[in-house]
A and B are shown apart, each in its own frame.
Chain A
Amino acid sequence: MKIKSRASTVRLATVLFLSAVVAATALAKPQWQMTKLKNGLQVIVIENHAVPLVTVEIATKNGSYTEPPEFNGLSHLYEHMIFKSNERSKAEGYLDHLSELGIVRNAETKEEVVNYYATSVKPSLRGTMTYMRDNIRYPLFDKTELEQEREIVLDEFSRNEANPFSHLKRAVDLKLWYKYFSRKNVIGQRDVISTATPEKMRTIQHKFYVPNNSALIVSGDVTAAEVFKLADELYGDWPAAEDPFIKNPLVKHPPLERDQTVIVNQDVNAATIMIGYHGPSTDTDAPATYAADVFSFILNQPDSKFARALIDTGITTVAGINYYTQRNVGPITITAQTTPGKLKAAIAAIDAEVAKFDAPDYITDEQLESAKTLIDVNEIFSREKPSEYAHTVSFWWASSGLDYYATYVENVRKVTRADIKRYVDKYIKGKLRVVGAMLSEADQKRIGLADQDLLIRKEAKAND
C-alpha cells in the first residue's frame, strides 16, 4: 500500500510540493459539513454531484510519528492488514455481496495519518460504509495472513530501496531527525517488519484505532443528512477510549547541534542536492506555516529569482523548495539536480540564493499577490476530484486540525513581506541544516567532492 512520505526523490518532492500547495489551498469558507458522534468520531461530508460516485474514507492519527524504534514500520504493516480478513467477512454471503458493490479501495500511510478509502457507485453508499466499518473495527490479524503480508511489505520495502533517491532522503533524514529518526521514517525498519506479531497489531489497534482518534470522510454524490444518519447507525457504537497522545505525547525533535553533511553514492548519472532544515509546526507556529507556503510557492514559479538564478542559468536542471506541513516539525527541503560537473557550482549558487532570501527585492509584490490568487485557483482544481479531495481533507484533519484548514486561505491572504522575512530568518537563513548530495562513486572521485565542499556558507556571512 502506498506510503506517502516527503521528498524521497526530487520528482516526489515536486509532486508533494504541488500537492502540499494544492492541499494547502483550504477553504476560506468550508464547503464541507461536519458532525461529531457521541463517541468522538469526526464525520465530514463533502458533497459533489458531478459523477455518481461515493468515496468513504477513514483517517486515523497513526503513522511513523507514533512509532518508537521497535514499532518502526508497523503503522504501514497495520494498514496492509486492515483489508485482510475481519470478523464479519467470514459470514456466509459476505464476499458475494461485497463483490457486487463495485468497490475500488486503497490506503496510505504517512508520518501523521493513515487513511483508508473505498470508492463505489452511488447506490452502494451503505454497503461501502459498512465494508469500511468492518475492516476498521473488526480486523482479525490472522497469524498466517500476517506472515504472508510481511513478505509483501518487505517487497515494497525492497522496491523503495531500489530507487536511488530513497537513499539520499534516508541519509539526510537520519541526520536531520537524529534522535527520533523512526518518527519520520514511514517505510520503517526491515527487521521490525519481518518480526511483527498479531500482538503488536492489537497494540496499535487498541491504542490508535479508536473513534475519538479517527475521522470518517465521505465525499461525492451524497447528502450530508444521509451520511450523518448512516454514520451514527454504523459507527455510533464504536466505543471511545483514552486519547492515545495523553500517555504517548509527541516526541520533541531536538534542533541540530551543527551543520551536517552527507554524500551518498548510488549508481546514478545525475547529481542531486538535498538540503534539509527543521521548519515550523502547526501546533506551535501556525503563522510561519502560512508564510512558508506562500514563500515556497513564489520561489517555485519559473519566473522567481530563485528559479532564474538556478535553472535559467543552466546551473541546475531542477530546483525547488518545499515546506511540508506537519504537526510535529515540518521539514523545509531545498532540492536540486544537475550534472556531476556542476555540482559544486550548484551548491554555491543555492547558498548564494539562500543568503538573499530575506532581501526586500527577492520577491515582488506581484509575485506575492499571484501566490494568493493561485491558492484560490488550486482550491478549485483540487475540489474537482472528490475521491482525492477526501484524502486532502484527512491529511489536514490530522496534521493541522480542520479549523486551521478552514481558515487557511484567509490566513494566507494576510501574509505580508514581513511575515515571510520572519519565517526565513527564523527557519532558513543562517540556520543549522543538513546538506546531502548523491552521485556515483566514480563521479565523486572525478570531481573530487568531499564533505567539506557541502559546508559552503556564504549565507552565514550575509547573516553576520
Chain B
Amino acid sequence: MTNQRVGSRQYAVGSEQMANSRQAVDGKWQKTAYCLLLTAYCLLFFNSAGLAQAVDSTTDFTTPNGLKAVHKRVQGNEVVAIRIYFKGGVRNITAKNAGIEALMWEAAQHGTKNFSKSQINRELAKMGTLIGSAAGYDYTFVAMQCVRQHFDRSWQILADIVLNPLFDEPEVALERERIVNALRQEADDPDSYVTTLSDRLLYAGHPYVNRPTGTVESLSSLKAADLKAYHAAHLTASRLLLVVVGNVTLDDVKRKAEASFGKLPQGDYKPEPPAGFTRANTPEFEISERQVPTNYVRGVFAAPSIGDKDYAALMVAMNILNSQFLEEVRYKRNLSYAPSADLLAQGANTGVIYVTTPKPNEAIKIMFEEIARIQQNVIRDKPLADIINGFLTTYYLKLETNSAQASRLGEYELLGGGWRKALAWLEEVQKVTPDDIQRVANTYLKNFHFAVIGEASKFDRSLFLQGKGGS
C-alpha cells in the first residue's frame, strides 16, 4: 500500500488525482452523461458476468441438529477454503476470562483426541494444508486452506481440532506464554498501541471493552481446565457457522458436516443485536506521551454495521474522505505519509480517521475541514460515478481468493443480514445518491474519540475535540 498503514485498503488513482473529489464538493462537474453510462455499463457487465454466477454457485443448508453452512462452488482453482465460526465474540466473555476463545482455538491445534500435536503438524506439512484461528469482537473462527486433493484428510484434522481438543496443561501453558508475550509487546509499536488506546475510549462501558485477544492479566489466570470447561459449555451446533468455498460439491460438504458435527447438541444460541456504544456522543482526547520520530493520531467514531441501510453510503463517504485526506494532507501540504479514513465491519461498528505527522495540529485542522466539506456540499454525479468505478476494482480484488470469499460470506451471514447481501454489495453501492452521502456524513462523522502518541507540546487538545454533535 502506498499510504495505508494496515494494508487492507487501496485507493483509486482518479480519486487521488482529485480531479473528482475536489471538484465533487465544489459542485462544478457538469458532463455526467457519458461517465454514468460507463459506470452503468461496467456494473451491468460485471453483474451479469461475475455476480450472477456467484449467486448461482452459492447456497446454504442446515444440518438436522441446527448447524448452518454456506457453500460456494468455485471450479477455477484447486484451493479449498473453510471457516468454522464460533458466534458471540466478546459477548461470550468477561474482563476476567477475556481472551479465552483466542487461547482455546490456538491451544486446540496442539493435540486432539485422534491426532497428537506431532501428527497434526506432520500431516499438515505433508499436505501443505494451513490451519489457523483468529478472535474478533463478534466471533472467533478456525480457518483452513488446503488443496482439493487433500480435502478429506484435512477436514478430519480440522473437525477434530474443533470438536475434540485435548488442552494438555503444558501445551496450553506454551500457547499462553506466546500470546502473553505478544500482548506485552503491543505497546512497543506505536501503530498498534494507538489503535488499542483509541478503541478503548469508544468501547468503554460496552462489551467490546473486553478485548478478544485478552490481556496479560486475564490470560495469565487461564488454565487448561478453564478451556476444557468453556469448550464443553459453549460448543453447540447453533453457535457454529460453517463456510466452505472451493471446488468441492455441496453433497460432499453436507456429508462431512453431518458426519462430523451431526452429534453436537443443538443448543439454543440466539444472536443478540449488538448494543450501541454508551460513550458514542462524547468526544474524547487522550495522549500517551512518548518520544517518537513522528506523532500518531487515531480517531474513532460510532458507525453503522454492514447490515445497516446507511453502510454503503458511509463506505462511499469514507472513500471520498480518504481521497481528500490524501490530496489535502499529503499531496498539497506534505504533512503526512499516511492520512486515511476507513470504515470497519463490526457488529457495533467503528469508523476511523488516522494520520502520522510531525505537525498534528495542522493535520487535524485540515482533516476536520475536509469532513466539513463533505457535510456541507453535495457530491455531483461525475465524481460519484468515478468513485464507484474504483469500487468495482476493489470489490473484485477482495474476491480473488477463495479464502477471501469465505471471509466475506461469513461476515455478511453473521453481521450483515445474511450471506446473500454480500452478493448484492455492488447494487447497494450503485443506489447511493449524493444526498445519501451528505446525510450520512452529517449523521456519523462527529464525536471522535482520539488517542494520540507523541510529544504533548505538539497537540492542541481543543482542535481534536471539535466535531461534537448530537446523537
* A contacts, CB < 8 Å to B: 1-2, 49-53, 83, 89, 95-96, 98-107, 118-121, 123, 131, 147-149, 151-153, 155-159, 161-164, 266-270, 301-303, 311-312, 314, 317-318, 337-339, 366-367, 369-371, 373-374, 376-378, 380-381, 383-387
> Interface stretch among B308-316, B331-339, B372-380?
B331-339
A155 is contacted by which of B128, B187, B290, B337 (Cβ under 8 Å)? B337
**B46, CB-defined interface residue at 8 Å:** yes
Inter-subunit contact B393/A99 (CB<8 Å): no
Closest beta carbon of chain B to A144's beta carbon, Å: 10
**CB-CB < 8 A to B337: which residues of A?**
152-153, 155-156, 159
* B contacts, CB < 8 Å to A: 1-3, 5, 10-17, 19-20, 35, 38, 42, 45-46, 49-50, 74, 76-79, 118, 121-122, 125-129, 145-147, 173-174, 177-178, 181-182, 184-185, 187-191, 290, 292-294, 296, 330-332, 334-338, 356-358, 383, 385-386, 389-394, 396-397, 399-402
> How far, in angstroms, from A153 to B337 measured CA to CA in the complex?
7
Inter-subunit contact A53/B396 (CB<8 Å): yes
Inter-subunit contact B125/A152 (CB<8 Å): no
**CB-CB < 8 A to A383: which residues of B?**
77
**CB-CB < 8 A to B42: which residues of A?**
102, 121, 123
* Interchain residue pairs with CB less than 8 A apart (11): A1-B3, A51-B50, A103-B14, A120-B393, A151-B335, A161-B293, A162-B190, A162-B292, A270-B185, A376-B128, A384-B79
> How far, in angstroms, from A12 to B20 measured CA to CA in the complex?
36
Inter-subunit contact B17/A95 (CB<8 Å): yes
Instruction: List the 6 shortest-distance A-B pairs measured between CB atoms, nearest first.
Output: A99-B14, A377-B128, A102-B389, A158-B293, A151-B334, A303-B121
> How far, in angstroms, from A374 to B394 measured CA to CA in the complex?
30
> How far, in angstroms, from A185 to B10 measured CA to CA in the complex?
26
Contacts A95-B19, A99-B13, A374-B128; is A50 near B77 (CB within 8 Å)? yes
Closest chain A residue to B356, Cβ basis: A159
B331 is contacted by which of A89, A148, A312, A339 (Cβ under 8 Å)? A148
Inter-subunit contact B178/A317 (CB<8 Å): yes
Closest beta carbon of chain B to A265's beta carbon, Å: 13
Closest chain A residue to B119, Cβ basis: A303
Inter-subunit contact A159/B338 (CB<8 Å): yes
Inter-subunit contact B13/A51 (CB<8 Å): no
Q: Told that A101-B13, A158-B294 touch, could you supply 20 new A-B pairs with CB distance under 8 A? A: A1-B3, A51-B399, A99-B13, A99-B383, A102-B392, A118-B13, A121-B389, A121-B396, A152-B336, A156-B337, A159-B5, A159-B337, A159-B338, A162-B296, A317-B177, A366-B122, A378-B128, A380-B77, A381-B145, A383-B77
Inter-subunit contact A267/B188 (CB<8 Å): yes
**CB-CB < 8 A to B2: which residues of A?**
1-2, 83, 105-107
Inter-subunit contact A374/B14 (CB<8 Å): no
Inter-subunit contact B14/A53 (CB<8 Å): no
Closest beta carbon of chain A to B52's beta carbon, Å: 12
Closest beta carbon of chain B to A31's beta carbon, Å: 12
Inter-subunit contact A148/B334 (CB<8 Å): yes
**CB-CB < 8 A to A98: which residues of B?**
13-14, 17, 19
A52 is contacted by which of B10, B50, B76, B125 (Cβ under 8 Å)? B50
Inter-subunit contact A370/B293 (CB<8 Å): no
> How far, in angstroms, from A302 to B119 measured CA to CA in the complex?
11
> How far, in angstroms, from A204 to B70 measured CA to CA in the complex?
53
**CB-CB < 8 A to A158: which residues of B?**
292-294, 356, 358
Closest beta carbon of chain A to B466's beta carbon, Å: 24
**CB-CB < 8 A to B188: which residues of A?**
164, 266-270
**CB-CB < 8 A to A268: which residues of B?**
185, 188
Closest chain B residue to A338, Cβ basis: B181
Inter-subunit contact A155/B122 (CB<8 Å): no
**CB-CB < 8 A to B128: which residues of A?**
373-374, 376-378, 381
Inter-subunit contact B401/A384 (CB<8 Å): yes
Inter-subunit contact A302/B121 (CB<8 Å): yes
**CB-CB < 8 A to A270: which residues of B?**
181, 184-185, 188
Inter-subunit contact B397/A387 (CB<8 Å): yes
Contacts A131-B13, A152-B334, A317-B178; is A104 near B357 (CB within 8 Å)? no
Closest chain B residue to A148, Cβ basis: B334
**CB-CB < 8 A to A148: which residues of B?**
331-332, 334
> How far, in angstroms, from A153 to B334 measured CA to CA in the complex?
9
Closest beta carbon of chain B to A410's beta carbon, Å: 17
Inter-subunit contact A367/B10 (CB<8 Å): no
> How far, in angstroms, from A370 to B118 measured CA to CA in the complex?
14
**CB-CB < 8 A to A337: which residues of B?**
181
> How far, in angstroms, from A385 to B396 measured CA to CA in the complex?
11
Contacts A96-B19, A302-B121, A303-B121; is A102 near B401 (CB within 8 Å)? no
Closest beta carbon of chain B to A187's beta carbon, Å: 12
> How far, in angstroms, from A104 to B7 measured CA to CA in the complex?
13
Closest beta carbon of chain B to A29's beta carbon, Å: 16
Inter-subunit contact B19/A52 (CB<8 Å): no
Closest chain A residue to B46, Cβ basis: A52
Closest beta carbon of chain B to A2's beta carbon, Å: 6
> Which of A98, A123, A270, A337 neighbours the largest number of chain B CB atoms within 10 Å of its CB?
A98
> How far, in angstroms, from A312 to B175 measured CA to CA in the complex?
9
> How far, in angstroms, from A358 to B161 measured CA to CA in the complex?
35
Closest beta carbon of chain A to B393's beta carbon, Å: 5
Closest chain A residue to B11, Cβ basis: A104
> How far, in angstroms, from A52 to B332 measured CA to CA in the complex?
34
Contacts A51-B396, A100-B386; is A106 near B1 (CB within 8 Å)? yes
Inter-subunit contact A301/B400 (CB<8 Å): no
Contacts A99-B386, A159-B338; is A104 near B397 (CB within 8 Å)? yes
> How far, in angstroms, from A417 to B187 measured CA to CA in the complex?
43
Inter-subunit contact B76/A50 (CB<8 Å): yes
Inter-subunit contact A163/B174 (CB<8 Å): no
Closest beta carbon of chain A to B72's beta carbon, Å: 13
Inter-subunit contact A385/B181 (CB<8 Å): no
**CB-CB < 8 A to A366: which residues of B?**
122, 126
A301 is contacted by which of B125, B393, B402 (Cβ under 8 Å)? B125
Closest beta carbon of chain B to A145's beta carbon, Å: 8
> How far, in angstroms, from A99 to B323 measured CA to CA in the complex?
12
A370 is contacted by which of B49, B122, B385 (Cβ under 8 Å)? B122
**CB-CB < 8 A to A157: which residues of B?**
293
Contacts A131-B13, A311-B174, A314-B177; is A104 near B125 (CB within 8 Å)? no
Inter-subunit contact B293/A106 (CB<8 Å): no
> How far, in angstroms, from A293 to B171 measured CA to CA in the complex?
29
Inter-subunit contact B185/A159 (CB<8 Å): no
**CB-CB < 8 A to A151: which residues of B?**
334-335
Contacts A99-B12, A266-B188, A269-B184; is A373 near B126 (CB within 8 Å)? yes
Closest beta carbon of chain A to B341's beta carbon, Å: 16
**CB-CB < 8 A to A163: which residues of B?**
189, 191
**CB-CB < 8 A to A83: which residues of B?**
2, 13, 16
Inter-subunit contact B14/A100 (CB<8 Å): yes
**CB-CB < 8 A to A374: which residues of B?**
125, 128
> Which of B191, B292, B396 neighbours the largest number of chain A CB atoms within 10 Å of its CB?
B396
**CB-CB < 8 A to A1: which residues of B?**
2-3
**CB-CB < 8 A to A147: which residues of B?**
334
> How far, in angstroms, from A104 to B11 measured CA to CA in the complex?
6
> Which of A53, A267, A387 neighbours the largest number of chain B CB atoms within 10 Å of its CB?
A53
Closest beta carbon of chain B to A159's beta carbon, Å: 6
Closest beta carbon of chain B to A72's beta carbon, Å: 18
**CB-CB < 8 A to A385: which residues of B?**
400-401
Inter-subunit contact B76/A49 (CB<8 Å): yes
Inter-subunit contact B181/A159 (CB<8 Å): no
**CB-CB < 8 A to B296: which residues of A?**
162
Closest beta carbon of chain B to A390's beta carbon, Å: 12
Contacts A104-B13, A152-B336; is A339 near B181 (CB within 8 Å)? yes
Inter-subunit contact A105/B13 (CB<8 Å): yes
> How far, in angstroms, from A301 to B35 measured CA to CA in the complex?
52
